[in-house]
Amino acid sequence: MTAEPGGAAGGPGAATVRVRIDRETCLSSQTCVRHLPEVFEIDDEGVAAVLPAVRDADVVDLVEAARGCPVGAIEVLGEDGQPLDID
Q: Is residue 43 a contact point for another protein (CB under 8 A)?
A: yes
Closer to another protein by CB, 18 or 40: give it: 40
Q: Is residue 56 a contact point for another protein (CB under 8 A)?
A: no
Q: Is residue 51 a contact point for another protein (CB under 8 A)?
A: no
Look at residues 13, 4, 65 and name the one whose alpha carbon lies nearest to residue 39: 65
Stretch of 5-13, 27-35, 50-58, 59-67 lying at the interface with another protein (CB under 8 A)? 27-35
Separation of alpha carbons 18 and 3, rounded Å? 7
Among 1, 2, 38, 45, binds another protein (CB under 8 A): 45
Segment (H or E) for 51: none
* Paired sense of beta strands 18-21 and 74-77, if any: antiparallel
Look at residues 2, 3, 74 and name the one whose alpha carbon lies nearest to residue 40: 74
Residues lying near another protein in the complex (CB under 8 A): 24, 27-31, 34, 41-47, 70-71
